[in-house]
Amino acid sequence: MKSKLIVLLAFTLLLTLTAFAADAPKYQVTNRFEVGGDGGWDYLTYDGEAARLFITRGTHVQIVDTATGKLLGDIPDLQGVHGVALASDLGIGAISNGKANTATLFDLKTLKKTGEVKTGNKPDAILYDPASHLVFTFNGASNNTTVIDPAKAAVVSTIDLGGAPEFAVTDKKGHIFVNIEDKNELVEIDSAKLAVFAHWPLTGCDGPTGLALDRKNQRLFSVCANGIMTVLDAVSGKLVATAPIGKHPDAAGYDGKAGYAFSSNGDGTLTVIRQETPDKYSVAQTVPTATGARTLAVDGKSHTIYLVTAKFGEPPAATAAQPHPRPAMLPGSFAVIVVSEK
């Protein structure tokens, strides 16, 4: 009897460990595309329909084939690029020019520029909302969002946000959410009424930047400069959970089929957060990437995460004008890092 009990316990333990192993994520760096090119970088935008990655590089936007890593095109002569929005149903793309205070419109097939629209001051994040068929630029220096009709290349409205906006997401049903970095809050916008619907505090979050959305369970994931991810209910604004992440986070992502949220961190890690239930979250894995790989884009179909970084030389000597000078990027060192399941 005793031996049978031992065998039963051992079998139960084996099943538990097997289930845990099967459930555990197995993400790792699986590829690296040496893209090269000049300029820093900011937001990444993944085009799932064409399997290509739009990479902002300050004065230009690179478009990379995510299957081969080859450069498909380059949109030049831009000024302080931060983000790219894709209005696939209209065949139009939009680029935020932080130094020119404009949004550049382009054709998604030819990648040729088709127009320029004036925005607020220092447009940063940019978003296309398919429910309203409008583009929203989130202007960091004027604390507002410029609403653009991309089909007409015209400004429709300007909405005050009450603080400096960062990343933004849409539920594709008329609700847009944006992190307000200097207020440690999240703002909800009604894209039909073109008005702010709510201001929600991000309790425990200092300096929210990256934002992702689980549309099915209506959960918002904000990554914060103090090393945590907050999870909010997208209907009530209630804080649901928090989880620790790496240092110097910038972007967030979510893979609904896999059930994981991600934080790309400047310390050279990708934090993988398991969604155990819509209200329970835990750190499932910390993936080594590369120092400076702080922004990301997620392909939910292939469960792949794309990040970018470069290599840098020694920083120049400090001066009174520049007490904390940045090191120069080594020529030709810019690369796309591909993280996927083993």
Quick: pLDDT tens for 303-334.
999 999 999 888 788 888 788 777 788 888 99
Structural domain containing residue 267: 26-41+210-226+248-313+328-342
Whether residue 277 sits in one domain with residue 176:
no
**Please, what sign has the CA dihedral across residues 340, 59, 250, 320?**
positive
Whether residue 99 sits in one domain with residue 61:
yes
Whether residue 172 sits in one domain with residue 308:
no
Whether residue 35 sits in one domain with residue 66:
no
Whether residue 148 sits in one domain with residue 221:
no
pLDDT digits (tens, 9 = 90+) for 65-119: 999 999 999 999 999 999 999 999 999 999 999 999 999 999 999 999 999 999 9
Rounded to an integer, what distance in angstroms lies between the CA atom of residue 13 and that of residue 184?
A: 44
pLDDT for the residue numbered 16: 42
Whether residue 214 sits in one domain with residue 161:
no
103 located within any domain: yes
322 located within any domain: no
pLDDT for the residue numbered 17: 42
- Strand 195-201 with 208-214, pairing: unpaired
Of the candidates 85, 65, 90, the residue with the CA atom closest to the CA atom of residue 125? 85
50 located within any domain: yes
pLDDT for the residue numbered 235: 97
Whether residue 303 sits in one domain with residue 181:
no
Radius of gyration of the chain (CA): 21
Rounded to an integer, what distance in angstroms lies between the CA atom of residue 254 and that of residue 305?
A: 10
Whether residue 190 sits in one domain with residue 51:
yes
Tokens 């909302």 — which residue?
129
pLDDT for the residue numbered 322: 81
pLDDT for the residue numbered 23: 61
Whether residue 32 sits in one domain with residue 47:
no
pLDDT for the residue numbered 320: 81
215 located within any domain: yes
Of the candidates 210, 235, 214, the residue with the CA atom closest to the CA atom of residue 224? 210
Strand partners for 177: 169, 188
Domain count of the fold of the chain:
2
Indicate which CATH number applies to the domain containing 175: 2.130.10.10
231 located within any domain: no
The answer to whether 301 touches 287, Cβ cutoff 8 Å, is no
Whether residue 187 sits in one domain with residue 47:
yes
Residue stretches of the chain with pLDDT short of 70:
1-23
255 located within any domain: yes
pLDDT for the residue numbered 319: 84
20 located within any domain: no
3 located within any domain: no
The burial of 43, by beta-carbon neighbours within 10 Å (0-12 exposed, 13-18 middle, 19 or more buried), is given as: buried
Q: How many CA atoms, within 13 angstroms, populate the side-chain half-sphere of residue 149?
A: 7
- The torsion angle over the Cα atoms of residues 99, 103, 104 and 107, rounded to 10 degrees, is 150
Rounded to an integer, what distance in angstroms lies between the CA atom of residue 31 and that of residue 84?
A: 24
